[in-house]
Structure 1
Amino acid sequence: MARRPTRHTPDTDRTAPPRGARPSKLGPLSAWFRPWRTRDTVVAGLAAGISALLLCHRLLPNPMGIGTLVDSFAPWLGVAVPLVALPALLGRCRAAVLLLVPALIWALVFGTAVPPNGRNEAGGVKVVTQNLYASNSEPKATLGDLSRTGADLVGLQEITSRTRSVATEALRESHPHHVAVGTVGLWSRYRLSDVRAVDLGLGWTRAVRAVAHAPHGKIAVYVAHLPSLRPDLVEQRDRGLRKLATAVAGETVEDVVLLGDLNTATTDRALRSLTRRLPNVAGEVTAGFGFTWPDTFPAVRLDHVLSRGVRVADAEVVDTRGSDHRAVRATLSG
């Protein structure tokens, strides 16, 4: 008798469910209920790491200023959430839901800075601080932009002998009173007195103090420029912050304002040594994050208006031409 030929089953039959098995009621969602995989562990670890950095970045060790750099760019840690979430969702990782934790933490810590304050009060004493930039090729344009803010007190940092002369000439009519020491200066509508340099322990003068005789009373005005936010200069910068804090702590005038490029971010742990003496109210009422550097795409706020004894009615970041920093303007009232 002839042998009956063997019947071959198509490959698709080999993966077919057993006869009588019921199809999954979850359909496409069944992929989310697979056993825990390596990629889930990785995503869960990243979610935990981002959350820890958002909450505890100021506790990181600070060798060579590494902790300071993380502090300075802490708001940008939130970008890591969508960067991790996208591939996690595409890969149907169950752990993707854990990324909601760092997203919520970011919203609670930094989200309150996003809505604009919507205020711009008239009256009071208007102040503005600007790093004029030593290599500024159009200082007249920068000063023109500052004049249009209507500021009564203009604090400038990183001035040179050339830009000092330009500033004096450009602001002669509107701000006839001025003082410049080293690379910082103050131009004022009001009479200035009791001028003195402030020692920041840097070996050269980068801070000045003067009393402005404003209509509502005296204001002690400090203008300062601290060393750059570089790992090799962090120690010098921190020393300068401590020296400034000591100076303003001993200030005898009740109303005090500091206009400066402090090269210290609002989120930097080191700034606390100074804001304990001079609260950063202007930073709190500034619309958005208030980043000032670099000018083309601000990523961090290095420029500040700190004050005590006066109410900060409003504040804003001002885009100016010629400098690599944006300016910060604020209105102070008694």
Structure 2
Amino acid sequence: MIVLLAVLVAVVLVGHRFIPAGGIVETFLPWLGLTIPMLALLAWRRRPAVSLPAVLLPLIAWFALFGPALLPGDDGHDLIAVQHNASDENRDPAGTVRELLRVSPDLVALSEVLPEALPVYDEAFGTAYPYRAAHGTVALWSRHPLTEDAPLDIRPSAFGPDWNRGLRAVARTPHGDVAVYVAHLPSVRMGLTGFATTPRDESAVRLGAALKAEPLDHVLLLGDLNATVQDRGLRPITNQLDTHPAFAFSWPAKAPVARIDQILARGLTVTSLWSLPRTGSDHLPVAAHLRF
């Protein structure tokens, strides 16, 4: 039985993308590592000569997927970016901004920013961040000039025209122009058959098409994508962009178990990625060092 369980865990780790309706598995995939010491303990107590070698299978598979996340990041950077779902129920926007600015970011992307809250956020960011782009419920604040500011249509076909959760702007940094995308993909819903991901996946396809057509060499995506980077639904995006293999869990804020807030790049290297302390949101912010 122990051998069978060890093989099963290894198969799930290696072949998670082939599991039907496997979104929930991919969301919590790193936590399968917790089964390995339990299997090893059971194997040691029963038939170690046979069972312990089998436990090596999921151990190797887990380290192949998540071992790099255990390595320290590189503090060397040219830019610092922050992504945060600030929550439209946040009662302390100014306090949220103060927490985000502790890392001295160059770029801060927020989602769930209601239009009526924009003046409060603008005042909190102050004169150090004089450049801002906002469309729908997503916004970007920058130390560097922003040009080509425009909404980005990532709306699923079943959603109404008032749904707007994407923007694109070009940040004119001292190191070169960067096409910055800010996106908030639709939420997933849990049902009897697993995650209902169709709107999110459709939105990811539309975002992926925009990224593919992007003419600039340096591209940065900051967003609440409502999925981990292992999720197959994000493949239109993750096939084009890279991130740092840190855990940096961001959701839920009270007891984070998954990183669904992402900082991904092309033509830039994400040298380190980490989560920031809790704000008035149900998400934790994530920050990244970026190098040209």
Q: 1:170 aligns with which of 93, 102, 124?
A: 124
Paired residue for 1:257?
220
Paired residue for 1:133?
87
Change over 3 Å in CA distance of 1:108–1:322 after alignment to 2: same
**Which aligned pairs between 1:198-213 and structure 2 lie closer than 5 A?**
198-202=152-156, 203=159, 204-213=163-172
Contact map agreement 1:155 1:186 (CA 8 A) in 2: yes
**Structure 2 gaps, min length 5:** none
Paired residue for 1:267?
230
Show structure 1 runs of 4+ deviating over 4 A: 87-95
Letter in structure 2 aligned against 1:259: L
Paired residue for 2:269?
311
Do structure 1's residue 247 and structure 2's residue 210 form an aligned pair?
yes
Partner of 1:312: helix, strand, or coil? strand
Paired residue for 1:292?
250
Contact map agreement 2:109 2:139 (CA 8 A) in 1: yes
Q: Distance in 2 between matches of 1:139 and 1:129?
A: 15
Between the two proteins, the alignment pairs up a number of residues equal to 282
Q: Distance in 1 between matches of 2:260 and 2:228?
A: 5
Q: What's the CA shift for 1:91?
A: 5.2
Change over 3 Å in CA distance of 1:156–1:102 after alignment to 2: same
Change over 3 Å in CA distance of 1:109–1:251 after alignment to 2: closer
Q: What's the CA shift for 1:292?
A: 1.5
Q: What's the CA shift for 1:92?
A: 5.7
Letter in structure 1 aligned against 2:86: L
Q: Distance in 1 between matches of 2:24 and 2:87?
A: 22
Contact map agreement 2:229 2:238 (CA 8 A) in 1: no
Q: What's the CA shift for 1:223?
A: 0.5
Change over 3 Å in CA distance of 1:45–1:332 after alignment to 2: closer
Partner of 2:66: helix, strand, or coil? helix
Paired residue for 1:12?
none
Paired residue for 1:156?
110
Contact map agreement 1:265 1:300 (CA 8 A) in 2: yes
Q: What's the CA shift for 1:312?
A: 3.2
Q: What's the CA shift for 1:314?
A: 3.4
What are the superposed Cα offsets for residues 18-59 of structure 1, whole Å, 9 maximum, x if unpaired? xxxxxxxxxxxxxxxxxxxxxxxx222212211111111111
Letter in structure 2 aligned against 1:269: R
Q: What's the CA shift for 1:90?
A: 4.4
Contact map agreement 1:47 1:102 (CA 8 A) in 2: yes
Q: Distance in 2 between matches of 1:113 and 1:127?
A: 19
What are the superposed Cα offsets for residues 178-235 of structure 1, whole Å, 9 maximum, x if unpaired? 1211110011122222121111123310101111222222211110001123246401
Paired residue for 2:137?
183
**Structure 1 gaps, min length 5:** 1-41
Q: What's the CA shift for 1:88?
A: 5.1
- What TM-score does the superposition give when structure 2 sets the normalisation length? 0.88
Change over 3 Å in CA distance of 1:250–1:92 after alignment to 2: closer
Q: Answer 1 or 2: which has greater strand percent.
A: 2
Do structure 1's residue 44 and structure 2's residue 3 form an aligned pair?
yes
Partner of 1:180: helix, strand, or coil? strand
Q: 1:110 aligns with which of 37, 46, 66?
A: 66
Q: Distance in 2 between matches of 1:189 and 1:196?
A: 18
- Which structure is richer in relative contact order (CA contacts within 8 A, separation 6 or more)? 2
Q: What's the CA shift for 1:85?
A: 4.1
Partner of 1:242: helix, strand, or coil? helix
Paired residue for 2:174?
215
Do structure 1's residue 55 and structure 2's residue 14 form an aligned pair?
yes
